[in-house]
């Protein structure tokens, strides 16, 4: 199953097969296509294969031949120019150099880390520092996880990108910073950048995504393109509902979770509640 494409560039996965050593196949004949300039929301339960897929797209795992996984018309694994040229920042696959595996915990300042990245446009750097509300005097071994995450994201976005892979990078961010970061990524996508964002938090994504893809047990079960709607504020939530709801209905009864009494209350997500844990 594919997101609607046909253009050169972007992301193309054709008949991909992958398994970890000694494990059953995770992906079998997996297809995915994301057009340049798209913002694709990657949805699925824990363990469905979202993070592994993003790592494969970032060239961290070798799968099949050179034409199985292609990013920007290059082999994701074999063509090192993707990484060396800066078009595909692996720094933002689950984090800055594996964002989520937090390495920035030594006794050094945020300024030392951010200004240590070479070849950066000073205007872009200052804009990101302001957008992420970073205090350059922060000592990285003393700040919170959310503050450390901001510094990591800033470092990963200092250079412009053509493909951006995001794996739950906003989980530690406050509501305002999360919304500002999503707006920043959307503006980059309008300039032709392709973004794939795996998340379980749909709040604030009402109009962010152009596509949504649902993965279950290593299979792309459903993908849809966002439809135009007069009520743009509900456009993306409706898209997520169309993608996820059929899969929930097909789950075996014993696999469904019993609904907690409080979850039966008629509350709806909003821009002011970004964390549902």
What does the pLDDT look like over 120-148, one tens digit per residue?
999 999 999 999 999 999 998 899 888 98
CATH number of 1-88+161-249+261-271+273-277: 3.40.50.300
Q: What pLDDT does residue 64 have? A: 78
What are the C-alpha distances in Å from 240 to residues 1, 245, 246, 247?
17, 8, 11, 11
What does the pLDDT look like over 47-96, one tens digit per residue?
889 999 999 998 888 887 788 998 888 888 877 666 555 555 544 433 32
Q: What pLDDT does residue 272 have? A: 39
Residue 145 near residue 152, CB atoms below 8 Å: no
Q: Which two tokens stand for residue 128?
A: 């990101």
Which is it for the CA torsion 82, 11, 40, 168, positive or negative? negative
Residues in the chain: 277
For residue 157, the 8-state DSSP code is H
The helix (H) or strand (E) run that includes residue 261 is none
Q: Which residues of the chain are under the pLDDT cut of 70?
A: 1-8, 80-104, 226-277
Q: What pLDDT does residue 96 have? A: 27
Question: Hunting for tokens 């998340």 — which residue is that?
Answer: 199
Q: What pLDDT does residue 81 have? A: 65
Rg (CA), the chain: 19
Q: What pLDDT does residue 82 have? A: 62
Domain ranges of the chain: 1-88+161-249+261-271+273-277, 101-160
């Amino acid at each position: 199953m594919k997101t609607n494409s046909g253009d050169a560039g972007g992301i193309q996965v054709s008949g991909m097969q992958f398994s970890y050593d000694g494990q059953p196949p995770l992906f079998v004949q997996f297809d995915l296509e994301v057009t340049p300039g798209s913002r694709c929301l990657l949805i699925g339960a824990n363990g469905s294969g979202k993070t592994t897929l993003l790592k494969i797209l970032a060239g961290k795992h070798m799968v099949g031949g050179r034409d199985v996984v292609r990013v920007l018309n290059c082999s994701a694994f074999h063509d090192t120019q993707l990484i060396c040229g800066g078009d595909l920042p692996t720094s933002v696959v689950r984090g800055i150099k594996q964002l989520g595996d937090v390495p920035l915990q030594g006794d050094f300042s945020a300024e030392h880390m951010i200004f240590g990245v070479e070849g950066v446009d000073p205007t872009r750097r200052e804009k990101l520092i302001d957008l992420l509300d970073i205090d350059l005097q922060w000592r990285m071994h003393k700040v919170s996880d959310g503050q450390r995450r901001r510094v990591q994201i800033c470092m990963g976005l200092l250079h412009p990108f053509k493909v951006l892979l995001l794996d739950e990078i906003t989980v530690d961010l406050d509501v305002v910073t999360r919304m500002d970061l999503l707006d920043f990524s959307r503006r980059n996508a309008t300039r032709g950048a392709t973004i794939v964002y795996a998340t379980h938090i749909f709040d604030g994504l009402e109009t962010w995504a152009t596509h949504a893809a649902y993965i279950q047990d290593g299979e792309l079960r459903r993908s849809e393109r966002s439809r135009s709607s007069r009520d743009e504020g509900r456009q993306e939530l409706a898209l997520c509902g169309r993608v996820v709801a059929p899969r929930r209905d097909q789950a075996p009864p014993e696999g469904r979770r019993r609904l907690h009494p409080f979850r039966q209350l008629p509350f709806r997500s909003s821009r002011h509640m970004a964390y549902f844990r």
